[in-house]
DNA sequence: ATGGTGGTCCTACCA
């Protein structure tokens, strides 16, 4: 069973890239962030043609927006509101796979602006509050040891030294500051999640999922960050087979600044 | 070098 997460940065502009990625990766579950598309404008027909039985999406005009497309019938959907804001940053579904109930959570964590000080930057304050509320959502759950849960998304934080091109140069840059990383780790621990990428690939090598549009040559300078994540519950981690990141897609024509992150699971 | 580029939808705002 394959789960793919990708910050698409406009699903309508890049619908052909989505089709190519689906053809190439054949995901069971595709989670998108920054669809930048109202539900009434969402290209549901295209997702149907790609082979998805159920596609759930919602968004606000211009900003954020999340989608989960599934090749297995979706049994239930939840959308959680964080920080009392009218935005579209979370969606979760449940579905059956080989008679097992699996939950998928798709998150788009606020980017947080430029200034890494919650006292003067309301966007950064929002980001920290969002992470706190997200952690609370999971720490309230009782079934931590028995549930098959996958949490994916653009979490807009690169937590480890090898998740950024230069730990030294980014430690005061939003996405890699100590305060955010602490909140993210608390979020991770709220349901005893495992970081699937690092669990399968170790902590030694540099791994990125995002390269800025502002670089002259993203590939040559390679100043990336690992902002996109796949987390698995303890029980789900037993079924985790492998993970990989589709870096080459950053080099496609009119790319998103993020690339798809993939996790494969095996069930008997 | 406090820039750079790329989204949405027309004017700023977001990343």
pLDDT digits (tens, 9 = 90+) for A19-35: 999 999 999 999 999 99
What average pLDDT score do residues A220-230 get? Answer: 98
CA A129, distance to chain mean position in Å, is: 18
Per-chain mean pLDDT for chain A? 97
- Asked whether residue A9 carries a pLDDT value surpassing 90, the answer given is yes
Nucleotides of strand B lying closer than 7 angstroms to a protein CB: 4-9, 13-15
> Could you check: is the Cβ of residue A254 within 7 Å of any atom of nucleic acid strand B?
yes
What average pLDDT score do residues A52-65 get? Answer: 95
Q: Which nucleotide is nearest to A154 (CA to C1')?
A: B15
Q: Comparing A143 with A164, which gets the higher pLDDT?
A: A164
For residue A221, what are the CA distances in angstroms to A43, A161, A178, A216?
Answer: 35, 18, 25, 8
CA A127, distance to chain mean position in Å, is: 15
A261: enclosing H helix or E strand? strand A261-265
The per-residue pLDDT for A142 is 81
Measured CA to CA, the distance from residue A127 to residue A18 in angstroms comes to 28
Q: For chain A, list the domains and their CATH numbers.
A: 2-265 (3.60.10.10)
Q: What percent of chain A has pLDDT over 90?
A: 96
| Contact call for residues A112 and A158 (beta carbons, < 8 A) | no
Give the distance, in angstroms, between residue A61 CA and nucleotide B9 C1'.
10
- Asked whether residue A140 carries a pLDDT value surpassing 90, the answer given is no
- What is the four-CA torsion angle of A261, A108, A22, A194, rounded to 10 degrees? 40
pTM for this model (two decimals): 0.97
| Contact call for residues A167 and A251 (beta carbons, < 8 A) | no
């Amino acid at each position: 069973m394959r789960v793919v997460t990708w910050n698409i940065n406009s699903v309508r502009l890049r619908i052909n890239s989505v089709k190519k990625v689906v053809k190439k990766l054949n995901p069971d579950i595709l989670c998108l962030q920054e669809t930048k598309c109202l539900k009434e404008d969402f290209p549901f027909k295209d997702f149907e043609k790609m082979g998805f039985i159920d596609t759930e999406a919602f968004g606000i005009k211009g900003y954020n927006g999340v989608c989960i497309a599934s090749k297995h019938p979706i049994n239930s959907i939840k959308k959680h509101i964080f920080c009392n804001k009218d935005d579209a940053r979370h969606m979760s579904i449940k579905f059956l796979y080989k008679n097992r109930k699996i939950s998928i959570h798709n998150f788009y964590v606020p980017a947080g602006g430029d200034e890494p000080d919650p006292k003067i930057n309301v966007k950064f304050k929002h980001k920290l509050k969002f992470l706190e509320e997200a952690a609370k959502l999971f720490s309230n759950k009782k079934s931590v040891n028995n549930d098959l849960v996958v949490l994916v998304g653009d979490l807009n934080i690169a937590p480890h030294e090898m998740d950024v091109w230069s730990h030294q140069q980014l430690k005061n840059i939003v996405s890699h500051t100590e305060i955010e990383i602490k909140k993210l780790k608390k979020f991770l621990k709220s349901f005893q999640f495992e970081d699937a990428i690092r669990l399968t690939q170790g902590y030694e090598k540099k791994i990125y999922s995002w390269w800025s549009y502002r670089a002259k040559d993203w590939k040559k300078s390679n100043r990336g960050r690992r902002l996109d994540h796949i987390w698995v519950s303890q029980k789900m981690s037993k079924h985790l087979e492998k993970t990989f990141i589709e870096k080459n897609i950053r080099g496609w024509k009119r790319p998103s600044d993020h690339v798809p992150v993939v996790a494969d699971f095996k069930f008997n």
